[in-house]
Chain A
Amino acid sequence: AQKITQTQPGMFVQEKEAVTLDCTYDTSDPSYGLFWYKQPSSGEMIFLIYQGSYDQQNATEGRYSLNFQKARKSANLVISASQLGDSAMYFCAMRASGSARQLTFGSGTQLTVLP
């Protein structure tokens, strides 16, 4: 079974500062993928970034980067230069090779960017 844990229900960050959203995972599969999705107040799910378990480098996509620490089973999302539009719910999710059909989600972190 696979599990995603997000321990920060809510986070606040000042505009233009960086923020780290925590995600830890648990799986016995050696091959897995980790995803981050953004859900603004309008409700849609927006894919942000992906990290594979065998990827040698941490993933980056614009202002988003993933701090992947495989031994600690953590995949934290770093948002640099926060913008007001970054205020949203952020979900960490995982798909493992043994259950590649399923995408398992954490409970989410509500990020609020302050002006």
Chain B
Amino acid sequence: NAGVTQTPKFRILKIGQSMTLQCTQDMNHNYMYWYRQDPGMGLKLIYYSVGAGITDKGEVPNGYNVSRSTTEDFPLRLELAAPSQTSVYFCASSYEGQVRTEAFFGQGTRLTVV
């Protein structure tokens, strides 16, 4: 059982380039999340999805886009990379959004924008 899988694990982008961070889960979870973690900081929510076709903004959505065409996949798109987007990105999923439901995390993607 793979859980939550993120690719790539590392990436260096030049300013203005675009890329997609991939996230897939095989637990049939309906809730999925994207977080970013800046050095020495906690996780901030970028976008989340409560099911296929439904997405919503989190705390820090600017500069990002998401889509959710299937239950399994929740890619995060950076259109015009900026140095402020240098961070570690985590994808997470949970079965549903009740208060006692834990979130399962991917291994993270370390992104550097130069």
Contacts and interface: CB of A to CB of B under 8 A. Distances in A.
The answer to whether A and B belong to the same complex is: yes
A52 B43 contact: no
Contacts of B50: 101
A43 B78 CA distance: 22
Contacts of A103: 33, 45, 92, 94, 103
Describe B's contact surface by its main secondary structure: strand
| Residue among B44, B56, B98, B99 with most chain A CB within 10 A | B99
A44 B105 contact: yes
Contacts of B61: none
A45 B48 contact: no
Interface in A17-33: 31-33
Interface residues on chain A, size class: 20 to 34
Contacts, number: 66
Contact of A105 (B40, B42, B98): B42
A52 B41 CA distance: 25
Interface residues of B, number: 29
Contacts of B43: 91, 93, 105
B1 interface: no
B58 interface: yes
Contacts of A37: 105
Contacts of A97: 99
A96 interface: yes
Contacts of A11: none
A9 B40 CA distance: 9
Contact of A101 (B88, B97, B102, B104): B97
A68 interface: no
| Residue among A6, A9, A93, A103 with most chain B CB within 10 A | A103
Contact of A32 (B40, B99, B103): B99
8 contacts: A47-B102, A47-B103, A95-B97, A96-B99, A97-B99, A100-B99, A103-B94, A105-B42
Given A47-B103, A108-B42, 16 more contacts: A6-B42, A47-B102, A52-B99, A91-B42, A91-B43, A93-B43, A95-B101, A101-B31, A101-B48, A102-B33, A102-B58, A103-B94, A105-B42, A105-B43, A106-B42, A107-B42
